[in-house]
Amino acid sequence: MKIVVIGGTGLIGSKLVHLLRQRGHEAAAASPASGVDTVTGEGLAAALAGADIVVDVANSPSFADKAVLEFFTASGRNLLAAEAAAGVKHHVALSVVGTDRLAESGYFRGKIAQEQLIRGAAVPYTIVRSTQFFEFLGGIVQSGADGDVVRLSPAFVQPIASDDVALAMADFTLGEPVGGIVEIAGPERVRLPELVRRWLAATQDPREVVADPGARYFGARLEDDTLVPGPGARLGAVTFEAWFARSRASR
Ligand SMILES: NC(=O)c1ccc[n+]([C@@H]2O[C@H](COP(=O)([O-])OP(=O)(O)OC[C@H]3O[C@@H](n4cnc5c(N)ncnc54)[C@H](OP(=O)(O)O)[C@@H]3O)[C@@H](O)[C@H]2O)c1
């Protein structure tokens, strides 16, 4: 099968392209680096010619509220129209667990818009909602950094390694369109400050973590279970410790 991976040069995209090729498929990475821009539409029709499946794992280069909304809106519209014209049979997108509960956040308003466009389009689809990647921990710490302390909501998280995300994406891509949402997460549910304490200790970062129920997550208030999946989620195998050891060894 011919599979086009939009954002195929990114963290998840590059791993997914590799896995799909290993499984014997023709997988192409499409992104601005290869002349395909879903926001302007440049190069899209040519990239999608003859494609059976399109996977969207692109991300907005800017996390500013307006920029994210514009990115996912323009990108989703252009991509789904080009897929309909090319006769694509399955659209697979990577979203975030709890997206519908996070509308106070500008980033998540962008993801909500992306999901709505997919649901309203004619192309059969699967929306895969993942929890936070371990690789994103640095970004979470940065968002809560306040001088010598890191201030974070005590909500639960269930983070997942990008390798497990790519494996799940490969399976859902090659499966039948679900016509709805599936959830994926890591093996362990833990409160966010506890996870970040472990990460700071492992990286010998002396900053103190303060659990603050008022601290927002990229602009959104969190309840205990906002970021964790419901029952039935597919769980990855890689724990925080295994991921950390592996990522340190590859440095
Ligand atoms: N981070 C998390 O914890 C998390 C959790 C759940 C879900 N997600 C979702 O996972 C997805 C992928 O994240 P990631 O970390 O793998 O992303 P990433 O490493 O930042 O990669 C982003 C990709 O998007 C491409 N891109 C940027 N602008 C584009 C455009 N105009 N047209 C086409 N492609 C464009 C980039 O291409 P170039 O290389 O050419 O610039 C790159 O391939 C995102 O949608 C995110 O919402 C993330």
* Each residue's pLDDT expressed in tens, for the chain with a length of 251 residues: 999 999 999 999 999 999 999 999 999 999 999 999 999 999 999 999 999 999 999 999 999 999 999 999 999 999 999 999 999 999 999 999 999 999 999 999 999 999 999 999 999 999 999 999 999 999 999 999 999 999 999 999 999 999 999 999 999 999 999 999 999 999 999 999 999 999 999 999 999 999 999 999 999 999 999 999 999 999 999 999 999 999 988 87
Domain count of the chain? Answer: 1
Q: Is the CB of 133 under 6 A from ligand 1?
A: yes
**Cα gap 238→159, rounded to integer Å:** 10
**Cα gap 239→91, rounded to integer Å:** 30
* Ligand 1 midpoint to CA 8 (Å): 8
Burial class (CB in 10 A: 0-12, 13-18, 19+), 207: middle
Residues spanned by the domain of 133: 2-249
Query: Best of 5, 31, 77, 218 to mutate for ligand 1, by most ligand atoms within 8 A of CB?
Result: 31
Domain CATH for 8: 3.40.50.720
Q: N- to C-terminal Cα distance for the chain?
A: 34
